[in-house]
Structure 1
């Protein structure tokens, strides 16, 4: 059984569910740049309402091309709506989820969420969305081929839209009613309703909706064997619709063209169209379109005499058909719809009974008023006493809780102060060690020893900066890496007296906060590699660039340090220096993989991949 694009919630849903601003999104549904832009707007959104709006755009963007991704965004929107507690948003996001399940081929789950959304909209007395959900439930009945129930719900939906004077939704539901007549075999009545809907879409200048109506009429003319007219309509529809917006409808149109060409005996054209329809429907997980394409393709092979291939394709068609719909799903949908109808009738009966009871009580109240007044006074006194007791008890509990909170807060503040003091003292002790090394260097004549002492002083300074950041910031267990590396590189340039303009440093550091156990070895590695670049890459008057990059790649960190200096000679590359041993030791501590690429006069690049680091 095939459905048009309008069956689950109609093209109108794009307007009413996501607002008119969504039109530009639909035209670029496959544009990764646009998705990145929406995700950025989501992160920068100032409030929950704006975030819900951006999530709605992301749902609509993927709805027909990637239902699973759309469902992820729909559940995110629903979770956020639950947090806001706004009834309208909670109802709307339930409908989002139902729409995603429908386009993903899980109709029984779609019906479940449609009913949840309908109950909430009925409580809000939102007639527009009640009409939309009636339309969606009708689609559920239509899957079960319960045409009377389907028409009943579609007509209920149509009455709501006509009351609201919503011309586009009214036209959409008219198109859906035509679908029912089509599946009943009443083609003349179906054609009249399709034509009426198409004319309204033309008036409203809605080219996408025009394409859907033309597609449906095309299938009628194929049934009537008016094949040139059917082919012309299919081509008109393809010219109107954007494949990126709705690849499923394009697949359906290609299938219709394939069937028409097959009936004309144009087998090559038919095969090309059917292959394209099958490929596109499988690419976008459009199960209904895949089923229809396989059914027609089986007919093609049978017509051309390839009976073995026809049987293979028909088996694939039967498998897809079974996966879309089976008796268990049918029963589940029937139970959900029946339960909704029963509960609705029970509420109506309960309301009538309540009104009758109220009238009876009003008559009795006049006779019993005096007695009730006395009893009420006694009850009021008892309630007042109970409330006063509860109030005093609550006051006592609140005071005790506040006292405990003050004690906890004081203890926490004391521990934070102590921890900051520890970091402060560690930093001071490291500075003392650094100063001792500097004094020692002044009394050493050997240049190599002086250089070793200065390098040791630089390494200690790299650790001192970490503890300085810890006691100066509110976060006592983590350090902002970007700030830390800025200070570290500035210190190194100062220590090695790098003149302005000689070495240009380029930093590309993600906004990361790392714990001390990770940052100390990482800082020493960076200190060592930058020190080597500043000391050896640009001898004499040579100038150049040094690049430092630290990026988060999933759970891993990517460190790259490079220069365009003189590079490392083959002889120097074979030497196992203390600096290289230091880098190797700390890389092992971080379980990191690293390598050096260098050619003489062509610079040096060091790349290190650090797995699964703890972030504060």
Structure 2
């Protein structure tokens, strides 16, 4: 191919960009290394968010090393500023448990009084970490604390503008995320403190939400709007940040082309994204994902040579620590390419690697969720211990003050008795009041002990159930029979359903009742994660009234819900890539409730006559559980399956 002046000019520009990036990265690392002690913290604080994200690995390795610096330890204000920076580094690196631990240290430090702005920063950071851990009950709890703080006039961090839309997106409610994000963008335009990156980033997110809803025209519109805003606002000020954002947007636009089977148009967009990613070399997993898509596009147009080149580049990136999901995608794409090249044996080995790694990813996710819950519970226990110790100190001070006051009162009364005989009756009244107060304190202490004991019982039951689930998981690894393995997995799901129930109860103020709105949110999240390997887009709509049930009703009802929704995932959407499940719980009369679960799947088999004649273990379990709550079950199989259960709460 002839090498024209135009090609030479582009080549020179690319070299200049690459050198610029390298010099920028080296400059940040060199500048940080040249500083000492607390100056390193100040340097980190003054970086913009994009720079912090771009060099997250560097700061994750180096910032914790200065924790013992004398300049930091000798000054409480410096300690708190250092911990804020450290928590942010952990959050950007997605090490959420460490981030939460540091933020809790800041929040519980009795020697430092947080300002409203600092407290807001702690709460918003905790909010992000809990959201990334899918601990929605903790998120909602912090939401109310943030709302109270904002009523007092505290500023809300600018880059947390999209929390509500992000929460909807995490819950797969993109139809609600889109209008919420549009409203948040309107508010950003009114905020004079916004930086140049925030609006283009918001438009990119909006385009992604539309693409998830398969509204490709709107997705294109907002991606192009993001490019235009970046060209105007970022490129003149920060070319490195501009290049990074352009790479992300072009990669997203390539996905839209792929969704329309326009692989030829997707290729140059992906190549541009890959070029920028390889130059920056700060997100190997993201670059690898774009290379995998590029290989798939070349394979689709039967350009297998270029597809293999892209796969080779991915294999070079495997030297870095790529995330597990990216590795699974690489194995699958490699297997497909080998299959098309008629290298079937080698293709089969890569299919096996993808399946094995995907299975381990799912197990690790469940373990991570359980570990997160346990660690957070330990942190809550630590908070409770600190609060109890502080309460004990306050009580001791009050007792000393009471004794002193009482002694002074006795002296005063004794003196006044000589002058005023009527004061004798007043002294008797004061003594009776003291006795009543003492009895009230004893009663309150007894009630507090009983509540703590009941909370501990629920927590231990939950822990014991999770231990049983872990034992079943270990047993499952040693069994080769697939039918037996599935039975154990089903058992684990049912045990986890009850464990989540006890977790909800010990987090509730009323330990005898279960808040079903909160519980169903966590149960649905668990079921989605447990069935993620189904590779189907299943949307779950919820309409749960604000109802509470005692444990005798909650356990069979939760097992029924788990059984039905899990069966929907397994059987209702065979030969389908997506589907909808709707669940509602409504109160009919003072003691009558209705549970309705409906899907738009394939429906029941034609030979299904009634639940009594069914030979399914699942239906037998549902029928038995219904009897425990005096329930009547009705099954309708038309355009899917609908199950209605009328039940009562035992008194």
**Same fold (TM > 0.5):** no
Higher relative contact order (CA 8 A, sep 6+): 1
TM-score, normalised via structure 1 length = 0.43
Structure of higher CA gyration radius: 1
